[in-house]
Structure 1
Amino acid sequence: MDRDSHSEDTLSTMVLENIKNKLIDAFRASGESREDPREDEAARARRLSISRSHQANEELRRAQIDGAITWLRSELLEMRSQDLQLAQTLLGLNTEIQRLRRESYRGVEDAGDHQQ
C-alpha cells in the first residue's frame, strides 16, 4: 500500500509539473503578440527588435541581481570571519581575566597566611 501511494505521489507530481509547464508556455505565448500574416516586414522587424531588447533588459536585470547576491554572500562571509576572530579574542581575554583573578586571589591568600 505504501508503495502504491508513493507511485501515486510521483505520478501526481509529474502531472502537476506538466500542467505547470503548459501554463507557463501558454502565458508566455499570450504575452507575446501573435504573428499576423498581414503584418509587413518592417513591423515584424520592429516587434523582433522590441522582443530582443526586452530579453536583453531581462538578462541584464538578472545579472545585476546575481551580482548583488554574490556581493551579499561575500560580505556575509567576511562578517562570519570577523565574528570568529572577535570570538577568539573574547575567549582569550576571558581566559586572561580568569588567570589574573586566580593570581590575585592567591596573592590575597598568601598575604593572609603571612599575617597569621
Structure 2
Amino acid sequence: MSDDPVDGSIDRFEPDEPDPEAEYGPDIPSVSVPDATENIPSVSIPEIGDTDVPPGLARAFWGAVVAVNIGLFAVSLGLMVAVFRGQWQLGATAIALGVVALLSGYRRYRAHQNR
C-alpha cells in the first residue's frame, strides 16, 4: 500500500500551490498620479472677532440659535419622557421649558428683524 499516509507524508495528497508570480487575467493598467503638493491653494482663516459681521448681529444670531436648540431638545425630550416612561409631570415641565426657550429664540429673531 503505497498510497497509505501512515508514514506521515500527507503532502503528496495536497494540490500544488499556484505560483504568485505567474500572470493570471488581463494586465493591470498603470495610472499616473500628479504630485499632491502641486497647486495647493492657500486659505486664510480669519481670527475670532476679525469678521465683517457686526457684533450685535452675531450676538443676536447665536443667542437665537442656542435658544432654539435648547427648545427643540427640551420639547422632544419631554415628549419622550411623558410617552415612553409615563412620567407626565417631568415631561410636561420639560415641554414647557422647551416652549419658553423656543419663544425666546423667536422673540430674539423678531426683535432683531424689527430693528
TM over 0.5: no
RCO (CA 8 Å, sep 6+): is it higher in 1 or 2?
2
TM-score (norm. length: structure 2): 0.27
TM-score (norm. length: structure 1): 0.27
Q: Which has the higher helix share?
A: 1
